[in-house]
Structure 1
Amino acid sequence: MNFLNSIPLSLQTILLLVASNVFMTFAWYGHLKSLATVPWYTAALVSWGIALFEYLLQVPANRIGFQQAGFSVAQLKIMQEIITLTVFLPFAMIYLKQPFKLDFVWAGLCMVGAVYFIFRSA
């Protein structure tokens, strides 16, 4: 029995989106610390290489979510935005040493509202 077949399609979608977002966060922002002293084009090439792995997870996530799990495109997009915020905040605070701001909480609450409105007609 294939391991993935035992995981519900909706959870497969979410897990793949989380994993893809971890790669994308490092591709977009990791170079600010780890490659700060190299030329921008070197950082861009490294980031592009990291982003390839993001796409290898994100594309199947959206296909599974849309074609098999029954999510709408709007639902997939708002899930991605929530995941982005959930992945980015710890990354920014732990890896980039950015301070926590109460505005992060307010932004998160706005995202909860967005989730409600996107999923309420489902």
Structure 2
Amino acid sequence: MRRFRRVASLGLLTLALGAAGACSKSQVEAQLPGVDAAWTAGCTAAGVAIGVNRREREAEIGTLRTAADVAGIDTDYKQWVDRAVQLLQLAEPTRAPLELRRAVNSPCKAHGHSISALNTG
């Protein structure tokens, strides 16, 4: 059941933002009308990506990078995307150094979208 929820979440997010390879900047701009929407989508994508295999994470990484290039997205979000990508490129993101896990999860918590797999206590 847990695997089904992860796959369903990944599918819904992919439908919402489009597949990384087929998702243009203008399509992402239309889906992310503001910074709050970007944080919601970004934190959700990162959380889902942590629960899938490394190859499947590439689509979420592409979506994060595309969202960071959208006009009007703040510098904090762009820096967060860089840290999130760094985390997601690891073989086991949940075993990343504590400092990196906090750097990714703390802004998500601050925007109301904590990534449970990265909670450090």
Q: TM-score, normalised by structure 2?
A: 0.31
Structure with more relative contact order (C-alpha pairs < 8 Å, separation 6 or more):
1
- Structure label with greater radius of gyration: 1
Q: Which has the higher helix share?
A: 1
Q: TM-score, normalised by structure 1?
A: 0.31
